Structure formats: structure tokens, C-alpha cells
Amino acid sequence: MSATEPYHADHLAWMGLALDEARLALKTDDVPIGAVVLGPDGGVLGSGRNEREAHGDPTAHAEVVAIRQAAVSLRERAQAAGGSGDGWRLEDCTLVVTLEPCAMCAGAIVLARIPRVVFGAWDEKAGAAGSVFDILRERRLNHWVEVYAGVREEECAALLREFFSSHRVPPPEHRPPA
């Protein structure tokens, strides 16, 4: 795993918001991953949870849902203030997510120009913020992201472990007789 920045006290509270979103994913039998996008003032601009099962959408990852919602919020704020902000540039925002972003989500983070990502648990199979890839800090790209990893890591990892252990089918030799 790649070295990360030390995290701040605010990150702990923000991860609590992402964990709340992750728990809501359990209602639709989605993998419990949650995300929030915070504006420069620390206010929530967007939130999301995995909704792949709920919507049959392979791109409905928590980060993508939260980024989309944050972009709409920024565009609406700019228009209300008489401006014409594009909404898609999430500059000076922070994305907080319970699991290390995958390659798709890392790409969306870079394209949205999000400067900071805070995540909880590492994803050693598909992580793209230092585990398998490091898209967020890839110097050949036009935007780089500060990464704060391991925030409330055990709590985030435990939620995922519990979900997957309850969804695993035991091998035939360990199943009770029918």
C-alpha cells in the first residue's frame, strides 16, 4: 500500500456520514459502501451508497452517485447566485468513502477535479488509490489527488466482512441436509 497523508479530526466525523450511507445500502442488498462529497465549508454537497442491485446499474457505485449529486448541488447554487457554474468541477471539495475507490471511481474523481479523498478500508483486490493501482496520484494524468487512507478502517472493513460472510454459500460438504 502506498503512503498516505495523516488524516484530520474532521475526517473521522465525515466518515461517520459515509458509514451511515453504507448501512442504507443493506436495505437493497447492495454491498455496503457509502460516500459523501463535502464542499469547501465542510457542508455535504452530495451523498451516495452502492445502488447497483437497487437500479441494475453497474456504474452506481457510492462515489459516482455522490459525485453526480454534488455536481447538481454546485450547479444549482451557482445558478441561484446568478452565475453559470458548470457544476462538474468539484474543486476544493473532499470525497469521503468507506472503501478505497476502484479504477472507475478513481477515474471519475480525477475527471471531477476533486482534490482530496478520504477512505476507510483498503481494497486489495480492486483498489485504485494505492492497493492495486494508484490512479489518484498518477503523475501522467492532468489532476492529482491527496489521499487520506485508513480513517475508521476497522469499522469500515467490519461492515464489509459481515455483509460478505452472510452472503457466502457454504461448500456442499458443510451445508445442512435438505
Catalytic residue of the set 63, 91, 154, 173: 63
Q: Is 102 annotated as a binding residue?
A: yes
Sequence-separated (6 or more) residues with CB below 8 Å from residue 19 = 34, 98, 120, 152, 155, 156, 159
Beta strands in 74-159 (DSSP E): 94-99, 116-121, 146-148
Task: Give alpha helix (H) positions in the chain.
Answer: 9-25, 52-55, 62-80, 103-111, 153-167
Q: Is 61 annotated as a binding residue?
A: yes
Phi, psi dihedrals of residue 85, rounded to the nearest 5°: -55, 145
Query: Whole-angstrom distance between the N-terminal and C-terminal Cα of the chain?
Result: 45
The amino acid present at 2, given as its one-letter code, is S
User: Distance (Å, rounded) from C-alpha 31 to C-alpha 107?
Assistant: 20
Q: Is 53 a catalytic residue?
A: no
Annotated binding site: 61, 102, 105
Annotated binding site for Zn(2+): 61, 102, 105
Which residues are annotated as catalytic? 63
